[in-house]
């Protein structure tokens, strides 16, 4: 779905997993290792973790129904607590975040060439940011590893104090940071959580098809749909030219 009334944009806010980073290739191997570590040799606990996380152990990948696809450690931490026989407590969530950050960096698989795309968009005058339901520290280390940090004005995770997607807080905080109105900002993401966050904030919703959701799922909630972020520079130039 393409909106004929998209305003001139000042800022572009990117989801991370499924948009900049391949979710399956990054978090499948990483989560496998973290579950192994935290189960500490207890095979029954490991298998229960995999079951509760909708994780296919033999293929090191998630089913699309997994709570990890769009959730946060705070939202699915109770499942890990159940499997590991631990208290569902912020300390557990922090340990999960730390271990996932370390392993996620080791297995990180960017989608295409995010640095080249963001550099081109920055050269076109856009202010850029990242909004993810991952932890902020994880987003920062992955952004740094991809060389993106010099082009970013804003990085927020679920624990940055702005709430989590699909709430609008991250989008509104980005708009404030760059001195823009929400309608002058677009959120680019691969899930309905991203698109709902954009709509709730009054921002432009741009869907990419590099995550688990298909066009038919995303299009009704998006103002624009592109195949990947690689298409954005040319697509946005055409929008701007069309007025």
Whole-angstrom Cα distance, residue 224 to residue 47? 40
Of the candidates 75, 126, 115, which has an alpha carbon nearest to the alpha carbon of residue 97? 75
Q: Does domain 11-22+110-242 have CATH number 3.30.56.10?
A: no
Domain ranges of the chain: 11-22+110-242, 24-107
Indicate whether this model's pTM tops 0.75. yes
Q: What is the pLDDT of residues 153-174, one digit of tens each?
A: 999 999 999 999 999 999 999 9
| H, E, C per residue of 118-168 | HHHHHHCCCEEEEECCCCHHHHHHHHHHCCCHHHCCEEECCCCCCCCCCCC
For 69-109, write each residue's pLDDT tens digit: 888 999 999 999 999 999 999 999 999 999 999 999 999 99
């Amino acid at each position: 779905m393409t909106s004929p009334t998209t305003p001139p944009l000042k800022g572009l806010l990117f989801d991370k997993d499924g948009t900049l980073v391949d979710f399956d290739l990054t978090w499948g191997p990483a989560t496998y290792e973290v579950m192994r570590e935290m189960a500490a040799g207890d095979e029954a606990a490991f298998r229960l973790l995999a079951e509760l996380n909708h994780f296919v152990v033999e293929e090191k990948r998630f089913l699309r129904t997994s709570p990890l696809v769009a959730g946060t450690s705070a939202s699915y931490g109770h499942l890990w607590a159940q499997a590991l026989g631990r208290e569902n407590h912020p300390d557990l969530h922090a340990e999960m975040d730390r271990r996932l950050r370390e392993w996620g960096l080791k297995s990180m698989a960017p989608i295409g060439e995010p640095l080249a795309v963001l550099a081109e968009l920055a050269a076109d005058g856009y202010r850029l940011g990242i909004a993810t339901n991952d932890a902020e520290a994880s987003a920062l280390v992955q952004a740094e590893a991809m060389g993106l940090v010099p082009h970013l004005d804003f990085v927020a995770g679920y624990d940055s104090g702005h709430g989590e997607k699909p709430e609008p807080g991250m989008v509104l905080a980005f708009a404030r940071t760059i001195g823009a109105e929400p309608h002058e900002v677009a959120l680019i993401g691969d899930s309905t959580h991203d698109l709902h966050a954009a709509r709730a904030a009054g921002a432009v919703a741009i869907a990419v098809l590099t995550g688990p959701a298909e066009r038919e799922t995303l299009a009704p909630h998006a103002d624009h749909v592109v195949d990947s972020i690689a298409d954005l520079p040319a697509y946005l130039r055409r929008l701007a030219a069309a007025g």
